Amino acid sequence: MQKPSVGASGATSYHRLRTPGEGIRIGEAIGLDDADFDAGRELLVIRNAKYGKHRLVPLHPSTTGALTRYAELRRQAHPFPASPALFVSTAGTRLLHSNIGLTFTRLAGQAGLTRRSASCRPRVHDLRHSFAVSTVLGWYRDGADIAALMPRLSTYLGHTDPQHTFWYLSAAPELMALAGQRLEAHLAGGS
């Protein structure tokens, strides 16, 4: 019986590693061990993140399901893992940041994502920015109190201060347009 493939060059690992809905840093994802994924509670435990901090990251049920399926596939492909890592290479070892970058570049090309210029190319970290922007866009559309929710998003992303999260949001034209509309409505006496 042939072992299931975990993916060429770790592509399956990569896909599960960075679902845009979770917003974790690539280094945090690489550092995850099996014990850091709690499917029953739908949580990831991020240990020793930036500045040595730890945090819990709640998962969407679809992400929990995808990670559970990935973990089973990985167990079938590597019944005696060489590493406690949650995400492994085709050799069963912890993923390397450099290999993830190469795999992402290849997958981005296959998906038709192109460079906007010689210095502006799709990057893995852009998914984290997209997560932050999408979250705040959803809050604006729902009429939420953005100021009250920003500390939560900052904590979720592992930022020490909301000002670090605002940096992620500053280059999003759609978000800036919604913020401007809300300001105009406020100044005009609306809600």
Catalytic residues: 25, 50, 125, 128, 159, 168
Element (H, E) at 41: none
Token duo for residue 157: 């992303």
In the numeric block, the tokens 């997209």 are attached to 130
Taking the C-alpha atoms of residue 30 and residue 95, their distance in angstroms, rounded to an integer, is: 6
For residue 126, what are the CA distances in angstroms to 50, 97, 148, 161, 168?
A: 18, 15, 25, 20, 10
Which residues, in sequence order, are CB contacts of 49 under 8 Å at separation 6+? 25, 27, 28, 55, 158
Looking at this protein, which amino acid is placed at residue 102? L
| Chain centroid offset of residue 169 CA | 16
Q: Give me Rg for the CA atoms of the chain.
A: 19
List the alpha helices (DSSP H) in 78-172: 97-110, 126-142, 146-157, 162-169
